Structures are given as C-alpha cells and as structure tokens.
Amino acid sequence: MNNFEAGDRQSRLWRALHSLGVRRDHIVRPPLRSIVRLIARRDLVPLHLLMGASLDVVFRMQFPEVSFRYHAAPGDGLGARLFWQDWQHWEPDAVPQFARLAKNAPRILDVGAHTGIYSLYACALNPRTEVFSFEPLPNPYSRLVENCKLNAFDSRCKTFQAAVSDTAGRARFHIAEDPTMSRLVESGDELEVSVLRLDDVVPLDGKTQFVKMDVEGHEYQALLGLENVIADSHPVILFECNPGGRGHDIDRLLRRHGYQLLHLDGGRMTPISELVPERFPHGSHNFLAQ
C-alpha cells in the first residue's frame, strides 16, 4: 500500500468516527482510548489528529525485550506519540543499537535525557547498570525524576538538571516548539539553565562504557567536556549529528581518541570515512563511535 492509499484509508476511518460524534477530547478517555490506540498502531488513524488530544495516563511502554512504566502527562508530545504508536515509528535505527550496548554497560550516560525514555530503558534492560541522566529543562526534568521513581529506578539513575558543554556555569537555552529539539544558544532572550562538564561529575573508574548523546547541535562542545572520561573508559558513543552541526570537528576529535565512526540506517551500521551529516538522507543522522 502506498502513502496515498494509507492516507486515504486513515481519512475515511477518522471521518467515520467523527460522524459518530467522536471528538479529540473523547479519544483520551477510557475505554475508547484503548480502542483508538490499537487502531493507531495499525496506522489507521493519522498521528497528528491524536496528538491534539490532551493525554494524561500512566502506561507500560513496550520496547525490545522489556517494558517499563511511563507517565505521559499533558504537554509531553514524545510520551503521547509513544503511547499511540511505538518505538518503531520513533527511532527504529537507534533503539536496537541502544539495547545492544546498554545490556552490559556498568555505567551509561544519557545526555539530553528529556523525560527519561532511554534512561528507563537502560535500567529495565540492565539491572546492574547505573545511569547518569542530564536534562536542563524544568518540565522534562520533573517528568524524568517522576518516571524514575515510578519504576523504582531512582536508586540507580542519578539525574542532573543541567545542559552539558566544555565549560561549566550558566547559559541560555532555546526552547523549541518541540522540546526534544531545544538547544543551547550563545545569546537571545531564552531560558537560563545550569551547564556542566561531564568530566566534572563522572568518575574516572573505567565503568562508563556507553554514552547516548542528543544535544541538538552542541555535540562537539559536549564531547570536549568528556575527553577525560573518553581517555579513561573509551565508551561507545551513540549520537545524533544533523546538517549544520560541527561534523568535521566531531570527526577529528573522536578519531584522535581512536574511534571508528559508523552511520546507522535501516538496521545497518556502515563505516564512514568522514562525518558530513549533509550527505545523509533526511531523518538518518544517527551515528556510532566505537
């Protein structure tokens, strides 16, 4: 079935529900919520129609091999998306690699943790790991803390309400319409947040074997602040680098520390000779350094 046929089928189903008096505020109420969720996971309802409803529900989020409890609160677009759909509609390339690497890592850094999905996944996958989670924005951070407590992971997940960079202090943070795309900025009328260097808070004991980094263009500075940990533990680093990012600088820094760089796409890991994110298709900017 092509995209046009799928879109037409979705539209016809939604019109049918609408004709029966179903509105967006109805679909978040039980028991209709469970029915619509099943339909949505078969791509029979357009996601953008579901995202307009204000969802407030604690549910079990199913990821490969394990599940964990998660509170999708009003305003949590990512949580709502993963309630209505699943991880395969979100980050199909990154999730399997994260699972493979998190299973045996004594310590994991979740840099740009947002509401804690990857932190929760790591704790569920690996009962012996400890996770350091970094999230600067107040609302996602409070959800991160709540979700850790909801699963009794708070004893193994150390949370930091801070952005990461190559210097410590305070900085301005641009809050995007989609909070997962928010980032540090050099100037502007933005929210002021705490900033730290990972080297200042992560022990140098050889245990930090895996780092997941999603910092929306600030990867190079974050890695500069991680160089002592890199020298100590040489962790595998799963990171995103989008067009406009400092791909050349990141490439040079990581290769200086002996890393090989790979591109993740469609379940494949392909070695790359140079990190130039502009050369890769839209939505395919996840990389691995190992």
The per-residue pLDDT for 18 is: 59
Mark residue 217 as left, alpha or beta (left: phi above 0; alpha: psi -120 to 50; beta: remaining): left
Query: Can you list the residues of the chain whose pLDDT is less than 70?
Result: 1-26, 174-189
The per-residue pLDDT for 177 is: 54
- 130: number of CA atoms within 13 Å, CB side? 9
Mean pLDDT of the chain: 87
Q: Please enumerate in sequence order all residues whose Cβ is within 8 A of that of 46, keeping only pairs 6 or more positions apart, or say none.
A: 7, 10, 11, 14
The per-residue pLDDT for 38 is: 84
Give the distance from CA 209 to its chain's centroid.
19
The per-residue pLDDT for 274 is: 96
The per-residue pLDDT for 124 is: 98
The token pair at 181 is 């795309």
Name which of 267, 197, 271, 213 is nearest 245 in CA terms.
Answer: 213
The per-residue pLDDT for 188 is: 47
The per-residue pLDDT for 254 is: 98
Residue 150's Cβ-count burial label (10 Å; 0-12, 13-18, 19+) is: middle
Predicted structure pTM score? 0.87
Residue 221's Cβ-count burial label (10 Å; 0-12, 13-18, 19+) is: buried
The per-residue pLDDT for 182 is: 46
The token pair at 206 is 């050889």
Do the beta carbons of residue 33 and residue 50 sit within 8 Å?
no
The token pair at 198 is 């990972």
Angle at which helix 117-125 crosses helix 94-102, to 10 degrees, equals 40
Do the beta carbons of residue 49 and residue 80 sit within 8 Å?
no
The per-residue pLDDT for 237 is: 98
* Cα separation, 162 vs 159, whole angstroms: 9
Q: Residue type for 258, please?
A: G
Give the distance from CA 263 to its chain's centroid.
17
The per-residue pLDDT for 135 is: 96
- 112: number of CA atoms within 13 Å, CB side? 22
The per-residue pLDDT for 202 is: 98
The per-residue pLDDT for 284 is: 76
Domains and CATH numbers, the chain: 1-53 (no CATH), 94-289 (3.40.50.150)
